[in-house]
Structure 1
Amino acid sequence: MASGVLSGVLGPQRRVRFLAGHLTDMLVVVVLGALVVAASRPAVVAGRIDTADATAVLTLVAAAIGSAAAIIALVTGRLTGDPRPSWFGAALLLYGVVLLPLSALVLPQYPGGTPRLAVLSMLLVSLCILVTALRPPARLGAWGGWALAGVALLVGALVAVQAESPFTRMLTAGPLYSIIVQAGWALVAVLFLLDGYRRQSRIRSRLGLGLLVVAVSQLYRAIVPGQEPTIGLVYPSLRVLGMAVVLSALLTVALRAVTTLQDEYDQLQETLGEASALLDRATDQAAERDHELRNGLAGLAGAAQLLLARPGDDPQVVRMREAVLAELDRLRRMLQNPLAVPVTGTDPLVDDRDAALLDWSPAAADGAAGDGPAEAEHDVGAALRTLVDLRDGRGITLDTPAGLPRVAAPESLTRQVVTNLLANCDRHAPRTPVVVRARLADEPGLVAVEVRDHGPGLPGGQAELTIARGRHDESAGGSGLGLHISAQLAERHGGTLVLRTVDRPRGCLAVLTLPVAR
């Protein structure tokens, strides 16, 4: 409600400011126009300046200003992504580069006939481009105006090569055709003025004012009888003023676009600086945590070694201590391995962060510097017993038949994948029985490790889970990385990881397959 009241208060103020600025622009243009007319009228220039040469020079000056405005309009369109300046620039370039030089250099030698008709035809097409610049068709994009400018050149060339005929002489003998075209130019200028008023845009209003001054100068030339010595330099001088007003408006647009881009660049640099500072702080904090974690792991490993050295203990306790030592050693190796070297040649779905995790899992974890070569195979049953011993008392049943062949993968792979699967059981099916089973897979040459819970099954009633990075059940937490990385680890060693919903009883079954060692 407060925003509505604020906009209701500021809206009239904006309109008042726009009207004040609009009236100021009009007053400045009118004053400048009056000064130009007073300085270029026949009574002032007659006998002092060669009006024919001065008219040609002023026409070329107007052409240069129009060409510069066209280039600025094109650049502004590229900077802002708005196609309207590009269309406006196409019309200006056609007017400044083609029409004005022709009117200064060619038409004085051909006061009538097809050359004048060709110029008027091209001027008519340029008016069509200007009208379309108010709202260009989306399909034509920013280059549609330039295509129409090319059409105008083609039309002018076709008209110019036509032979003289009574019809062409009729069109060019009197000023009617020229007055109609110049009146159309004035109408386009009024449309720009109205559009600027409707959008409360002083830039569009200035464009309309400049075009209107050009139209008035051309109408003056078409209506007032006589040649340059009798009409003075009012016509070419007003045209220069009009093109200068258009150029000033387009320069304002270009400067605003550059300022906006500079502000966005400065904001991006500031954001990058803040992100870099956050990254530095996070790196420092991670290094401190790693240091403290290594110290803690070292203390735990020493205590476990002392407990293991005590004679006469229960065998179950000894197995527990051995499992603790194995897990502590795995964590120590993970911390020792640097994560800066990315893995190449992996699945394209794995990004650099996953690649870093895959880099230590499992080969690097088992073969860290100074610890000898990485394991090539291991006993799945022994690895599973270690993991189950670590979770003694959590309702996990282990089923590993004797004589199961060794698998061609590091032991840490099985530990990591099964650890992730058991963590998922704790998260999605807490306090339910879990069965961990190893067996020969249905496909020859593979060993299957199954982890089955008695929970609700996969989320959403899915029959089988499509494993993807970041995909997880929002209600149960997690990041969606564990299963994705586990599946990638299995695939890198010739295996698979599949999760599906099972019944009798209801639950989720995860199956890890690994190839049998040769």
Structure 2
Amino acid sequence: MTAILAHVVGRLAADSRAVWLSIALALYTLAAVPAATIHATFVEAETSVSAARLFAQAAVVVLLGLAAWAPTLPHYWRGWWLSALGLMLTLVVAGLASGFPGTALAIVNAAPVALGLAVAGPLAGLAVAVVGWIRGNISVSVIGLGCAILMLAPIGGTGAADGPVAEFGLTFPSTQLFGMLLVLAGLVQLARRTLWAVDSSRAEKQKELLMARRNLVRTAERDHELRNGLAGLAGAAHLFKSPALGDDAPVLSSAVAAELCRLDALLEVSDTYPRGVSQAYPVLPVLRQHIALRRCVGMDIRVDAELGLCALGVASTLAQVLTNVLTNCAKHAPGSPVRIQASKVGDAVRIRISDFGPGVRPGAEELVFGVGVRGERSHGDGLGLHISRRLLAPEGGRITMRPSSPHEPGCTVVVELRAAVADRSMLQRAAMADLS
């Protein structure tokens, strides 16, 4: 169980130290401990089992040293493959020992070999514990301490109350159990920390992904607004040289200047949409400016508006909504006359924009405000109406589409703004704007 837990932690956290520990624990539990059990049960296989046990102990010491060093495993190596390779080599050593019993016994009974393993095993475990302490990872320190205790208790112990450990009232099996419990406790804590780190990383990645998606949407919406605004300005630019403008020249010049300011603000702000200070503003000048821009490109567009209409919000919001709606009229109903009606209804300023094109299919009046929804033959982005609704919402406005009927062909979009409570000075400014 400890080997499996260490392997899972290593794979989740991409921690080579935990992978090396998993290989060491797997070889300890699947080779060293069974070899000791077989050695105590089958005396006739003593030479082969002793050689296998010695090799397994030496391999565990080396693996603990690698866990302290923590070299990165190549991507095509896997912990389970190395564990299986260790088990296969242990069986090969046992087979060779049975073929050359004299040589095997000489190696197994050599005092330097036994003394070297007795010293190197606990030191390798302590090295892992020290590395964990230096790196501030208490879990790894506990695991290393448990491994040191495991290697301190010889695998070949009989459980009798003899030797240095017995002086403290402990037997070798109880010492091994205590060491393994320490390893398990450290791995459980390490697994908890790893899972917490994975969850935190996943939450951070999801947050970054969400921010990236929002940025993509913002970029697409901003590009959409820039294209619409520049389309109107492109038509107006060709007419500035024409003497036929006559009295419309001041209105057209004002419209171009207003559009340039709006596009400039759209590029400067880092938020989703350009925002200004919500205040009362006259509605008719904004309508007239966009009518002038659209007439420049040949659109038959007329307005019928009450005088003195004032809305509460930002004038650039209405300008952007008008740009989106009139661009849709030009795309979906080319050559069709466009009629704009503006009046005050209760506490709202209602603006109706109608064309005489094909309209939308019945039942789709609300669907067209979704992101990316566009007509079958449309080559647009399907963002204009969606952007308009999101622009109006913070100001308490709304935009809807009337269902088509045989008596009213085409498409009718209704924009409602909060009406401003106008005082005398505001009415005078609105009246002057209406007459200009």
Q: TM-score, normalised by structure 2?
A: 0.47
